[in-house]
Amino acid sequence: MKLLFLGDVMGRAGRTAIIDRLARLRADWALDFVVVNGENASNGAGLTAAHAKALLDAGADVLTLGDHAFDQKDMLQFCETEPRIIRPLNFSKAAPGKGARVFEATRGRKVLVAQVLGQVFMKRAFDDPFSAVDAVLRAHPMGGTVNASLIDVHCEATSEKMAMGHFCDGRASVVVGTHTHVPTADTMILERGTAFQSDAGMCGDYDSVIGMQKEEPLRRFITGMPKARFEPAKGEATLSGLYVETDDRTGRATRVEPVRQGGRLSQQGPV
C-alpha cells in the first residue's frame, strides 16, 4: 500500500496548499491512503468543522488532531459525528470522539490510525501514551485484522517519539511524530519494519516561527513581553510529511521517503 502522512496544517496557508496540491499528489504517486494532522488548521489553533470538511474534500482520508484538538469548540460535537477524525487516545477520559479507528483504503484494505500525546514538556499531564498504544496495537494486529497501521505521536521531545517508534517496531507500519512543526532528518525503517520519522514537520509557511508570523515571537523572545496575538504566517506553505510503501500481508514498511512539496523548504518526495 502507498501511504502519505502530512504534518500539522498551519492556518490558511496550510489549508490552501492541501487544497491546491493533495489531489494531484494522490494521482501522481498512486496513493492508497492519506492521513493529515489538522490540529492547527483553523487560524493556527484547533480545527473547525468547516475546515475539517475542506481538508477531507481535498483528499485526506483521515484527520488527526493533537493538544489543540478542541481549541475550536465545534470540534467537541463534530468529532462525534465524523468518523474520519481521530483525537489523541490519551487526551482525557472525558474527551468526545475516538483516538483510534480502522479505516478502509483502496481495494478494501484495512488501515488502523491512532494518535497519542506525549508526556515530556507538554502543557498538561496526559495519561501514559505507551500503554494506550499497546492496547490498540494488540487489538488490531497487522497480518491479522489490519493490512497496515499508522501511529501519530504528538510530542515535544524527540526522545519520547523515538522511544515510541521502537516500542511499536514491527507492530505498526508507520510511527510518525507531529507537534514541533519542524521536520527531522531521521527518516528510516526501524529494525522490525516500522517506518519512522521523529517529526513530520508542518504544512505551513516556513518563513515564520513554527508557522506563526515572525514579529511577535521574536518580540517575546527578545523583550519577554507580549504585545500582540500570534497570527499564522501567510506565505506559500510547504506540504511536509512522509511517503511510505507497505507490504499488505505483513503490514511492514518496504520504503519510506520524506515529503516536502512547495514553499521554502528544499523539495523532497518519492519521485
Give the active site residue among 51, 68, 154, 179. Answer: 68
Span 64-93, contacts to Fe ion by CB under 5 A = 66-67
**Which cell numbers hold the place of 208?**
515564520
Residues 6+ apart with CB under 8 A from 99: 86, 87, 88, 89, 90, 91, 114, 115, 116, 132, 136
Distance CA 49, CA 77 (A): 9
Q: Are the CB atoms for 255 and 33 separated by under 8 Å?
A: no
What Å distances lie between residue 104 and 5, 61, 154, CA to CA? 16, 9, 23
Our CB check for Fe ion shows the closer of 107 and 123 to be: 123
Q: Residue 117, SS3?
A: strand
Strand residues in 59-140 grouped as ranges (E): 62-64, 85-86, 100-104, 110-117
Q: Beta strand pairing status for 2-6 and 100-104?
A: unpaired
Residues 48-67 that bind Fe ion (CB under 5 A): 66-67
- Shortest separation between residue 211's beta carbon and Fe ion, angstroms: 8
- Contact flag: residue 147 with Fe ion (CB under 5 A): no
The smaller minimum CB distance to Fe ion, of residues 10 and 150, is found at 10
- Supply the minimum distance, in Å, between the C-beta of residue 232 and Fe ion: 11
165 is a site residue for Fe ion (CB under 5 A): no
The reply to whether 179 sits near Fe ion by the rule CB under 5 A is yes
Q: Is residue 152 at the binding interface for Fe ion, with CB under 5 A as the rule?
A: no
Nearest distance in Å: CB 39, Fe ion: 5
Q: Does 194 bind Fe ion (CB under 5 A)?
A: no
Q: Give the strand pairing for 62-64 and 85-86.
A: parallel
Q: Which is nearer to Fe ion, 9 or 190 (CB)?
A: 9
Residues of this chain, 208-267, that bind Fe ion according to CB under 5 A: none
By CB under 5 A, residue 180 contacts Fe ion: no
Q: Which residues bind Fe ion (CB under 5 A)?
A: 8, 39-40, 66-67, 179
Catalytically active residues are 68
